[in-house]
Structure 1
Amino acid sequence: MKNEQSTFFSTYEIAYLAMTVAACVVGRMLFQFIPNIQPMTAIFLILTYQLGVSRGLVVNVLSLLITNLYMGMGIWTISQILSFSVVIGCMGLLCRWPTFRKKRSLQVIFSVLAGFLYGLVIAMIDVQIYGMPQFWPYYLAGLYFDLLHGLGNGMFYFLLAPIFQQLFYHIKKKA
């Protein structure tokens, strides 16, 4: 019975995930005036580190759908969901490495690199969706925004990881 429960979300966990989605939505809306600096990516990474890839993906999809209802929904929403999903998947793989799990400095470094990974993936998808003739000029034009995204991720991960670790401790304890 314990194994069956681990694959489904408990009511308690759904409440925490809903609060996490709310934190992502509010954080993205609060920092929208600063290009590519917002806590959403860091929260996805922290959540994936603490509770796993499936929870990170659920919060990713819900957060993007809700924020894009406010900020503008379009075909780019699919690009964003897919790009964040790649970043979350990479975090999930790194979390299997014991050294990565023990060292917050490695997690912060990955959160910075995640800004560049997100930019690379979204550029690859956008070039296909919009039928752009060349990838590299488009990708290189966005590197400055990827740098801002990465630096913001590192800052937010460093600040928010201890807070979310305490919040998610209760979920893990009940599981």
Structure 2
Amino acid sequence: MSNKRIALLAVLTGATALGRIVMAPVPNVQPVTVILIFLSIYMGLADSLIVNALVIFISNMYLGFGPWTFYQILSYSIIIFLSFFLSKIKKFKNSMLLQTVFAAFSGIFYGFIISIFTAAMFSKTTNFFVYYLNGLYFDIMHGVGNAVLYVLLVPPLKIALAKYKKL
């Protein structure tokens, strides 16, 4: 891994972690999912997984660690793998609309995955679907936030990545 690539990943990690911390007061609206999807599509699997683990670890230093930290990393990793494999489909990789729809879906899917883990860990007596439906509003906010942030963040990120590749 070159110094240039390490520097790029460090900047993306720092910006994403800061975005997560700054957006924490707005329930489930954050740039993490969007940037990880972007990275997995345009930079690859390894870079996305590295940024994923670092962002969650660094931002949780401020937001709080717990057993959910591992589940957050795992849930984002599943989304990264999905977006990476979808990026192999030319129509998906070339379509901002399909990527935006996937980003919205990912917010809801992330909440579903996290709910599976947290319900199993914290709620032995509650029906999973009752538990999940109680948080569905927040997952929908995550999905809508992802769609909006994807449209806002990806065009400048593409320009920045193009300039990085020319250096």
Structural mapping, 1:1-175, within 5 Å: 9-133=1-125, 134-173=127-166
Aligned length: 166
Q: Secondary structure in 2 aligned to 1:96? A: coil
Offset, 1:50: 1.0
One-letter amino acid matched to 1:122: I
How big is each residue's C-alpha offset from its partner over 1:58-79, in whole Å with a ceiling of 9 and x where there is no partner? 1010000000010101101011
One-letter amino acid matched to 1:60: N
Distance of 2:149 and 2:51 partners within structure 1: 17
How big is each residue's C-alpha offset from its partner over 1:95-144, in whole Å with a ceiling of 9 and x where there is no partner? 01110011100000000000011011111111222353321111111110
One-letter amino acid matched to 1:155: V
Distance of 1:68 and 1:56 partners within structure 2: 18
> What percentage of aligned pairs have identical amino acids?
37
Q: Secondary structure in 2 aligned to 1:132? A: coil
TM-score, length-normalised on structure 1? 0.90
Distance of 1:173 and 1:53 partners within structure 2: 21
How big is each residue's C-alpha offset from its partner over 1:3-48, in whole Å with a ceiling of 9 and x where there is no partner? xxxxxx2110110000000111111111111100111111111111
Q: Determine which structure has greater relative contact order: mean sequence separation of CA pairs < 8 Å that are 6+ residues apart, divided by chain length.
A: 1
Farther-moved stretch of structure 1 (126-135 vs 17-26): 126-135
One-letter amino acid matched to 1:124: I
Is the Cα contact below 8 Å between 1:13 and 1:171 reproduced in 2?
Answer: no
Distance of 2:165 and 2:103 partners within structure 1: 23
How big is each residue's C-alpha offset from its partner over 1:133-156, in whole Å with a ceiling of 9 and x where there is no partner? 321111111110000000111111
Offset, 1:170: 4.0
Instruction: List runs of 5+ in structure 2 lacking aligned partners.
Output: none
Instruction: List runs of 5+ in structure 1 lacking aligned partners.
Output: 1-8
Distance of 2:141 and 2:67 partners within structure 1: 23
The alignment yields a C-alpha RMSD, in angstroms, of 1.3
TM-score, length-normalised on structure 2? 0.94
Is the Cα contact below 8 Å between 1:27 and 1:38 reproduced in 2?
Answer: yes
